[in-house]
Every structure is written in structure tokens, then in C-alpha cells.
Amino acid sequence: QKEVEQNSGPLSVPEGAIASLNCTYSDRVSQSFFWYRQYSGKSPELIMSIYSNGDKEDGRFTAQLNKASQYVSLLIRDSQPSDSATYLCAVASTDSWGKLQFGAGTQVVVTP
């Protein structure tokens, strides 16, 4: 069983709509959670971090964390064609010196 699971997609989203991405993890002691965006042929770019249960908003992005259910999600509001990318969920636990476990990523395609 993979430690960090994501739906691979592709997730097709009309322009202007909300994209909803989910990620589940298996390590109950995980404390830090991240969302990375990766454009094709490029390196991952950190877009969101969340450490406490609840929601965290940054511009059009909202990260949601539920440690009891072991899932973290990312919402992209008012999706734009420039949001078309692969989104990677990453999880760190306190006993791994900050090493991140990555999910395989969800491909998002925003259609005009």
C-alpha cells in the first residue's frame, strides 16, 4: 500500500469552475502537508502548506486537512487554463527528519 495516495486523473475542469483534488495518507504521526504544482517538463513548485486541521486559503487555492480521517485536499477556485498541471501531494512525519513522501500526482486539465 502506497503511503500517499492520489487519483491520477486526468481531472477535467471547465474554466471558471472549482477543481477539487484529494489525497489520503497512511502515517498517523504525519504533521506537515504540502501541495506542489508541476507543469509538464518542469520541476515541482510549492503552492500550499498546511499543518493544522481545517482550511487554509491563499488566493484561489484552499487546502483542507483532516488528520482524523487522514486526508488532505486542495481546491482551486475560478480555474484557469494556466492551472493545467499535475498536482503532487506530499506528507512529512515528525520522525523522518522532514523527508517527504509524495503521491503520484493528479493531472488537472482546465478546458476553455
Partner 1 sequence: IAGITQAPTSQILAAGRRMTLRCTQDMRHNAMYWYRQDLGLGLRLIHYSNTAGTTGKGEVPDGYSVSRANTDDFPLTLASAVPSQTSVYFCASSETGGRRGYTFGSGTRLTVV
Contact residues toward partner 1 (CB under 8 A) are 8, 32, 34, 36, 42-46, 49, 51, 88, 90, 92, 97-100, 102-105
By three-state DSSP, how is residue 53 classified? coil
Question: Which lies closer to partner 1 via its Cβ, residue 64 or residue 87?
Answer: 87
By three-state DSSP, how is residue 1 classified? coil
CB proximity list for 85: less than 8 A, separation 6 or greater: 37, 38, 39, 40, 107, 108
- Which residue is it, cell 515528525? 94
> How many Å is the Cα radius of gyration of the chain?
13
Question: Which lies closer to partner 1 via its Cβ, residue 54 or residue 112?
Answer: 54
Question: Which lies closer to partner 1 via its Cβ, residue 17 or residue 22?
Answer: 22
Name the minimum Å distance from CB 15 to partner 1.
27
Name the minimum Å distance from CB 43 to partner 1.
4
Name the minimum Å distance from CB 13 to partner 1.
21
By three-state DSSP, how is residue 81 classified? helix
Name the minimum Å distance from CB 62 to partner 1.
17
